[in-house]
Structure 1
Amino acid sequence: MGRSKKKPPEAWESIGKNNKFVRLFYEQLYSNAAKKLTPRQRALYLYMKAQYSGKHTGKSPDGKSNHFCFSWRQAHEETALYGSKQTFYADIKALEVIGFIECVENNKNLRKKNIYAYSDKWKSIT
């Protein structure tokens, strides 16, 4: 059997420069945990998920597929979601408490980026 062709995005889904996408399942989107997030926290999580590249670990800080870095500067400059560091870190903490991400390596004192991992703890939120 041959491989199936990749279906290109619809005209309203992309401007055609690259066909990368964010994978998000209904179970997660409509979960009780997701309902507890503010709209900006949901957007932040989507930007974090956009960094995920499956089993390809080229962009991973430590070679593990579910680990990633996401800094305030990145959130401020690339996404224009945040003007203040305090709000950004409060939203990161909310994502950790609700169980969407977890901090694997806190490098605040080393002046390096923190390393986060995607988590499935959100499933237990009622």
Structure 2
Amino acid sequence: MLSHLSPEERSRKILSLILEELDDDKAENVVTISLQGKSDIADAMVIASGRSQRHVGAMADKVMRRLKEAGLGRVRVEGATTCDWVLIDAEDVIVHLFRPEVRDFYNLERVWSEAAHAPAKADA
């Protein structure tokens, strides 16, 4: 499903699938940060909270399942054993799912928002 799309369309489709699933799963405080032109790791980052470890784990499972069903077979995940902070690497989009207090502690929105607004590095 994703293989026939251009890189830009593919990135947008992956982001759309993730945001739809998080909305369906009642994720809280969903934030999307564009990383295009600012980082080589991904085009976008999504940060969201779940109400508990169980909620975070369920959201992560459903996001990963939905991406695999769409044809993205190389989805990687970290933190699924404790579900305090689950990172999903969906190639073009990085997803961080947190319990609220863990999210507050790491404050990735501030860190990455500042990085996203910093001037782009010129290649040497």
* TM-score > 0.5 by shorter chain: no
Indicate the structure (1 or 2) with the bigger Cα radius of gyration: 1
Structure with the largest fraction of helix: 2
TM-score (norm 2): 0.32
Structure with the largest fraction of strand: 2
Bigger relative contact order, structure 1 or 2, given CA contacts below 8 A and separation 6+?
2
TM-score (norm 1): 0.32
